[in-house]
Amino acid sequence: MSKALKDRIRIVFFDIDDTLYSKNAGLLSPGVEKAFLGLKRRGVIPAIATGRARYIFPAPLEAVIARTGVEHFVTINGQLNLHGQQVVSDYPFAQADLEHITAYLVGQGMGVCYAERTHMSVISMTPAFHAALVPIMRDHSMDQPHEPGSPVYQLVVGFQESQLAGIEASGILDHGRFRTVRWHEDASDLLATEGSKMRGIRDVIGTLGLTLDNVMAFGDSLNDIEMLSEAGFGVAMANGHPEVKKYADHLAPRQDEDGVYRALVELGMIDAD
């Protein structure tokens, strides 16, 4: 890593699933805590940028967050962004849009969950959708109800790629106002088109007086493309989606090979333990 790059990176945003943590194995990469502490010793802020809501972070990561004092969180694909428990910015669905989209999806027999401020609520479920959610919800309940009128930031929807054309033809995406981002063969996120982790990152760094040139981002999945391409330095995981790797400045080893820690050492961002 060049000295100029090393000097300008002041914050590093990490995706969770298959970057820091294997959702299928339920295992956190062993070097995550060392990575966070190593960054902090250099005066660099470790932060999270995830499709997950804050309340469904995996338990092993929560323990590391508590021990290392991580406090900046871009969650729900940038729809709800936090400094500790304080909301930095949020972008809920308009109620009319939420009702219109939900009615169509449920009418088609698709599974639907709402990502709300304090919990996930199940609106409808299918066996395939349930199987996709189990690794994400490993440490959390899926039994909490939706309270009508409470803010919803994202829909998690159970459908296969072959059904996307029908969704697009239905009009519920309102000529591009909304989009889907696939993270499993049986599940996708549905959110506003302008919503992304990158929008959340912009909001968070704006409160810190930083610019995108000061940002490094790690990710592996399709919802990481914006932040890897627009951050000052983007790092894709070797286990990541092939499309995502096209937007990275550097390729890290696999998540199950302690890729985040090893990449930060390779890049000179932290010292080897």
State yes or no: pLDDT of 2 exceeds 70.
no
State which residues form the domain around 16.
3-90+195-267
State yes or no: pLDDT of 90 exceeds 50.
yes
For residue 101, give the CATH number of its domain. 3.30.1240.10
Q: What is the pTM of this model?
A: 0.93
Interhelix angle 259-266/32-41, rounded to 10 degrees, is 30
Give 257-267 pLDDT, tens digit per residue: 999 999 999 99
Q: What is the mean pLDDT of residues 191-214?
A: 97
Are 133 and 188 in a shared domain?
yes
Are 200 and 74 in a shared domain?
yes
pLDDT band, residue 1 (cuts 50/70/90): very low
Of 46-55, 131-140, 204-213, least confident by mean pLDDT is 131-140
Distance CA 199, CA 87 (A): 14
The structure tokens listed for 209 are 């007086």
Give 143-198 pLDDT, tens digit per residue: 788 988 899 999 999 999 999 999 999 999 998 999 999 999 999 999 999 999 99
pLDDT band, residue 139 (cuts 50/70/90): confident
- Is 272 among the domain residues? no
Domain boundary among 167, 192, 217: 192
Are 123 and 180 in a shared domain?
yes
Are 181 and 200 in a shared domain?
no
Q: Give the number of domains in the chain.
A: 2
Percent of the chain with pLDDT over 90: 92
Cβ neighbours of residue 121 closer than 8 Å, sequence gap 6 or more: 113, 114, 144, 145, 146
Residue 47 vs residues 10, 69, 118, 123, 226: alpha-carbon distances, Å: 11, 10, 20, 31, 17
More confident residue, 139 or 239: 239
pLDDT value of residue 273: 83
Give 40-60 pLDDT, tens digit per residue: 999 999 999 999 999 999 999
Domain boundary among 141, 168, 192: 192
Residue 215 vs residues 36, 56, 124, 264: alpha-carbon distances, Å: 15, 25, 38, 14
More confident residue, 140 or 134: 134
Cβ neighbours of residue 232 closer than 8 Å, sequence gap 6 or more: 5, 8, 9, 211, 212, 213, 214, 215, 216
pLDDT value of residue 29: 98
Domain boundary among 173, 192, 211: 192
Q: What is the mean pLDDT of residues 239-254?
A: 97
Question: Helix or strand or coil: residue 149?
Answer: coil
Are 166 and 209 in a shared domain?
no
Mean pLDDT of the chain: 95
Distance CA 148, CA 152 (A): 10
Q: What is the mean pLDDT of residues 201-206?
A: 98
- Is 203 among the domain residues? yes
- Is 273 among the domain residues? no
Are 31 and 161 in a shared domain?
no
Q: Where are the beta strands (DSSP E) in the chain?
A: 11-14, 21-22, 27-28, 45-49, 72-75, 80-83, 86-90, 111-116, 120-124, 152-158, 178-184, 187-192, 215-219, 233-237, 250-252
Question: Helix or strand or coil: residue 55?
Answer: helix
